[in-house]
């Protein structure tokens, strides 16, 4: 894809196609450690960032004991992380999801869970566990719900007919039981930021959801990752040209743990969007993952540097 669309760009991790020095981002202030609980999902979206589906098990389920190992590493490395975040796939497909959450909350971390709030989360046993966790650790657990668009029509276009209603049902349960909620949407629809946020505000008001539509940390609107569009490479000169600092880019403050199918242990990935790219696999330990990240992928430019997006709150 890099060759076909971007005409020889993003080939050398250190030098751009024009021969300029490629920008890199050091891990300067780690704030979030992500865990991908597995790529299996109860639905298959039209444009999933990492191709999650009911059949894609390229990233297999992490276990609670594997989570504990990385929590121990966090303490050993003294990273200063404040937040543990879970993504998938659909995290509540993983049978150990509530136990993994509990182990993180026990250590005092804020926990963020990205979920579609559909049937995997709405199973009786899962909801019982969530109620116990939210009661035991008030204000420490945030559920970020995937609502691709504030309208049923466009949300269902992305996620399948009936998805919107099922997600709203899950959100109503979370709201009624006092959970902190946030929302993740998309900007692919061509709306202005203001119009999009107003649409979400109206949706929240209709259902009585306590979510701030104008807070980018509570209503997160992600740019679309269109791999058919050519994007510029980011050089060291771009920081000055764009008036931007490496510390503003997501890989300066986060890493993600995944377990590839067939692997005998998890590994640490530089970016939540690039779990399959070998050059962004930084090794099995947090110590190995402390090295700088070369911005050698179109997503680095479009999503993070130029788009200004971040998966964390």
pLDDT of residue 42: 84
Q: Rounded distance, CA 166 to CA 256, Å?
A: 29
- When pLDDT is cut at 50, 70 and 90, the band that residue 229 belongs to is confident
Average pLDDT, the chain: 93
On whether the CB atoms of residues 144 and 170 are closer than 8 A, the answer is: no
Looking at residues 87-101, what average pLDDT do you find? Answer: 97
Is 207 within a domain?
A: yes
Using pLDDT thresholds of 50, 70 and 90, give the confidence band for residue 4: low
Structural domain includes residue 121? yes
Classify residue 38: in a domain, yes or no: yes
Weakest mean pLDDT among 136-140, 180-184, 228-232: 228-232
Question: Any bridge partners for residue 115, and if so which?
Answer: 145
* Residue that the structure tokens 């021969």 belong to: 19
Q: Is the pLDDT of residue 166 over 50?
A: yes
Residue 17: Cβ within 10 Å count = 14
Q: What are the structure tokens assigned to 284, written together?
A: 């099995």
Q: Where are the beta strands (DSSP E) in 74-122?
A: 83-87, 110-115
For 20-54, how does the pLDDT look when each residue is reduced to its tens digit (9 = 90+)?
A: 999 999 999 999 999 999 999 988 877 777 878 89
Identify the band that residue 70 occupies on the pLDDT scale cut at 50, 70 and 90: very high
| Domain count for the chain | 1
- Confidence (pLDDT) at 302: 83
Average pLDDT over residues 236-252: 93
Residue 305 inside a domain? The answer is: no
Q: What is the CATH number of the domain that holds 49?
A: 3.20.20.70
Instruction: Indicate whether 143 belongs to any domain.
Output: yes
DSSP per residue, 274-298: -TT-GGGB--SSTTGGGS-EE--SH
Phi, psi of 73 (to 5 degrees): -65, -40
Asked if the bond preceding 89 is cis, omega within 30° of 0, the reply is yes
Q: Mean per-residue pLDDT for 253-264?
A: 97
pLDDT surpassing 50 at residue 1:
no
Which residues does residue 112 pair with via DSSP β-bridges, in sequence order? 85, 142
**Beta bridge partners of residue 183, listed in sequence order:** 145, 219
Environment class of 44 (CB within 10 Å of its CB; exposed 0-12, middle 13-18, buried 19+): middle
Confidence (pLDDT) at 225: 62
Calpha distance 81→28 (Å, rounded): 12
Q: Are 185 and 178 in contact (CB under 8 A)?
A: no
How far apart CA 312 and CA 256 sit, in angstroms, is 11
3-state DSSP assignment of residue 86 = strand
C-beta of residue 287 within 8 angstroms of C-beta of residue 27:
no
Does the residue 144 lie in any domain?
yes
> Both tokens of residue 205?
């008001």
Mean pLDDT across 228-256: 92
Arithmetic mean of pLDDT, 246-258? 95
Burial (CB < 10 A; 0-12, 13-18, 19+), residue 282, is buried
The Cα 274–Cα 85 span in angstroms is: 16
Q: How much is the pLDDT for 147?
A: 97
**Confidence at residue 14, expressed as pLDDT on a 0 to 100 scale:** 96
CA-to-CA dists, residue 147 to 53, 114, 182, 240, angstroms: 17, 11, 10, 35
At 304, the pLDDT band (50, 70, 90 cuts) reads confident
Residue 143, both tokens:
């559920």
Q: What is the domain range of residue 124?
A: 31-186+188-222
Asked if residue 81 is part of any domain, the answer here is yes
Question: Residue 309: its pLDDT value, please?
Answer: 53
223, pLDDT greater than 90: no
Confidence at residue 188, expressed as pLDDT on a 0 to 100 scale:
82
The pLDDT assigned to 43 comes to 81
pLDDT tops 60 at residue 162: yes
- The two beta strands, 267-269 and 254-258, are antiparallel
Q: Which of the given ranges, 100-109, 222-231, 272-281, has the highest pLDDT on average?
A: 100-109
- Is 313 among the domain residues? no
Locate tokens 């200063």: which residue? 80
**The pTM is what?**
0.93
CA dihedral 254, 96, 148, 179 (to 10 degrees): -90
């Amino acid at each position: 894809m890099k060759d076909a669309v971007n005409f020889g760009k993003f080939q050398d991790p250190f030098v751009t196609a024009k021969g300029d020095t490629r920008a890199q981002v050091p891990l300067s202030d780690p704030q979030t450690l992500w865990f991908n609980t597995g790529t299996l999902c109860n639905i298959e979206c039209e444009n999933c960032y990492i191709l999650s589906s009911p059949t894609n098990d390229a990233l297999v389920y992490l276990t609670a004991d594997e989570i504990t190992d990385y929590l121990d590493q966090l303490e050993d490395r003294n990273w200063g992380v404040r937040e543990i975040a879970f993504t998938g796939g659909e995290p509540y497909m993983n049978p150990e999801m509530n136990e993994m959450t509990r182990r993180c909350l026990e250590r005092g971390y804020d926990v963020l869970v990205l979920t579609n709030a559909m049937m995997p989360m709405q199973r009786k046993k899962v909801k019982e566990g969530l109620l116990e966790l939210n009661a035991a650790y008030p204000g420490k657990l945030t559920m970020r719900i995937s609502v691709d668009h504030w309208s049923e029509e466009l949300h269902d276009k992305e996620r399948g007919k009936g998805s919107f209603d099922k997600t709203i049902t899950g959100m109503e349960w979370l709201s009624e039981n006092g959970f902190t909620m946030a929302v993740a949407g998309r900007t692919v629809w061509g709306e202005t930021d203001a119009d999009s946020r107003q649409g979400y505000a109206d949706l929240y008001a209709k259902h009585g959801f306590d979510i701030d539509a104008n807070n980018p940390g509570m209503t997160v609107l992600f740019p679309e990752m269109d791999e058919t569009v050519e994007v510029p490479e980011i050089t060291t000169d771009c920081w000055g040209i764009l008036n931007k600092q490496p510390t503003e880019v997501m890989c300066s403050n986060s890493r993600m743990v995944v377990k590839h199918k067939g692997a005998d242990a998890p590994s640490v990935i530089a970016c939540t969007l690039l779990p399959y790219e070998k050059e962004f696999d930084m090794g099995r330990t947090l110590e190995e993952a402390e090295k700088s990240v070369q911005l050698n992928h179109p997503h680095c430019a479009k999503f993070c540097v130029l788009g200004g997006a971040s998966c964390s709150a």
